Structure 1
Amino acid sequence: MTQTQDATRTRTFGWSDPAEHAHLLGRRSGLELLTAMASGELPPPPIMQLIDGHGMRVEEGSVTLELDPQEFHYNPLGTVHGGVLSTLLDTAAACSVHSTLPAGVAYTSMDLNVKFLRPATIASGRLTCTGTVLQRGRRTALAESRITDAAGRLIAHATSSCMIFDIPGA
């Protein structure tokens, strides 16, 4: 983002072709795919580039993402928009489920229940969002995610149910 003294603000960003990930779904496990994204071997999905998320850390059953709040994340009240926070929460929870899946198996979020506890602003510092699988069955999984600010205060948390399914033709 570029900010100038005359209060003009602009933002330019690019993204990678999402097909780079899609063709690998049947060939690599979720943990392998996410680890490749975290290491930079594979580019992040376009949504992470859109919101300027970074700092992915992955282990089986848990994924952590980071976001430095910026003005372009703000709602009309001058705080980070709940949709941006929800996107982080959904991504961390769902990716934590993905990290447990073998090659040829995918997931989709069925719901996301979010609780916002305090506002986030630029002054909050880096936001850290960690998702963790709570329970995984053959066809569904339950995960939670939590966002904390740089001081370790809880900003928001969520639970998410994911549907697990075989990838056709994988």
Structure 2
Amino acid sequence: MKQELRQLLEDCIENGSESDLESLASLLRGVQQKIDMNSDTYIGHLLHMDRKMDKNTCEITIPINPIIHNNLDIVHGGITATVLDTAMGSLANYVLPEGLGAVTNQLNIHYIAPGIGDTLSCKADIIHHGTKTIVVSGTAYRNDGKKIAYATGTFFIINK
């Protein structure tokens, strides 16, 4: 595996454009961060998520780069959905007592404007906290302050 990976990296370095190499470096930094932090998951590290949380809100910011662009050179809607779902789900899990977890049951997103600029930030707030579900809202902004998406999510409360 290591030899195959070395060859793949050498081929990418030799033949990749500057944008390809910047993207490869970003992905490798994310994998290295996952390894260094002994984390269980990749997605937060690969997207370089910066998370701020308190009992009422969760805000996640990611850098915008070519890795997350669609063919129109704007943030892919699925990336926006992923960051919104992560912010909302993180908050839902944060407010639960030990032994319980929250998983996405339903996610509704309204895309408003293109994701462009340097960063994408998603902020989540609890709308309802019941015994079986938590309902959360989320808003995605680009770094110029323009709202690019609004979402709501329902999360099942489960035993871990």
TM-score normalised according to structure 1 size: 0.74
Instruction: Tell me, yes or no, if structure 1 residue 101 matches structure 2 residue 96.
Output: yes
Deviation at 1:112, TM superposition (A): 0.6
Instruction: Tell me, yes or no, if structure 1 residue 84 matches structure 2 residue 79.
Output: yes
Instruction: Tell me, yes or no, if structure 1 residue 136 matches structure 2 residue 129.
Output: yes
Instruction: Tell me, yes or no, if structure 1 residue 7 matches structure 2 residue 17.
Output: yes
Structure 1, residues 51-87: CA drift from partner, whole Å, max 9, x if none?
A: 232x210101311100110011111111110010000
Q: Percent same amino acid at aligned positions? A: 21
Higher Cα Rg, which structure: 2
In structure 1, runs of 5+ residues without a counterpart are 18-40
SS of alignment partner, residue 60 of structure 2: strand
Instruction: Tell me, yes or no, if structure 1 residue 50 matches structure 2 residue 68.
Output: no
Amino acid at match of 1:138: T
Contact 1:61-1:97 at 8 Å conserved across structures: no
CA RMSD in angstroms comes to 2.5
Higher helix proportion, which one?
A: 2
> Compared with structure 1, are the counterparts of its residues 114 and 142 closer, same or farther at alpha carbon in structure 2 (3 Å cutoff)?
same
Structure 1, residues 112-145: CA drift from partner, whole Å, max 9, x if none?
A: 1011111112xx2222111111101011010011
> Compared with structure 1, are the counterparts of its residues 159 and 84 closer, same or farther at alpha carbon in structure 2 (3 Å cutoff)?
same
Q: What stretches of structure 1 move > 3 A for 4+ residues in a row?
A: 41-45
Instruction: Tell me, yes or no, if structure 1 residue 159 matches structure 2 residue 152.
Output: yes
Deviation at 1:43, TM superposition (A): 4.7
Contact 1:61-1:99 at 8 Å conserved across structures: no
Q: Tell me, in whole angstroms, the C-alpha distance in 2 between the residues paired with 1:126 and 1:70.
A: 9
> Compared with structure 1, are the counterparts of its residues 162 and 104 closer, same or farther at alpha carbon in structure 2 (3 Å cutoff)?
same
Count matched residues. Answer: 140
Deviation at 1:45, TM superposition (A): 3.8
TM-score normalised according to structure 2 size: 0.78
Q: Select which of 47, 62, 65 maps to 1:67.
A: 62
